[in-house]
Amino acid sequence: MNDEPKSAAELKEMRLNRKRAQEVDGIKAMAEIAAADIAIRQRTEKLRAMRLAKEAADRANPPESKVKGKTKARIAKRG
């Protein structure tokens, strides 16, 4: 590294360049965050639609009960 003392103008220019680079990095980071947020919302919307469609199909075609007439026969024997 260069250990020579910098002039005030050089230090000011270095700070200005560093600040500009940080602003550019900040803008890029915010854009990435916004893109990730949009992707999450789209996936959530797709999954919600799939879940609602499955729930509607389940309501339209309820599964058959596995319990057969044994319960009724047991009740009749007890009574």
* Dihedral Cα 19, 20, 26, 31, nearest 10 deg: 170
User: Could you read off the pLDDT of 15-52 as tens digits, one per residue?
Assistant: 999 999 999 999 999 999 999 999 999 999 999 999 99
- Residue 64's pLDDT band (cuts 50, 70, 90): confident
Domain ranges for the chain: 7-62
Question: What's the pTM value of the predicted model, to 2 decimals?
Answer: 0.55
Greater confidence (39 vs 76) lies with: 39
C-beta separation of 22 from 30 below 8 A: no
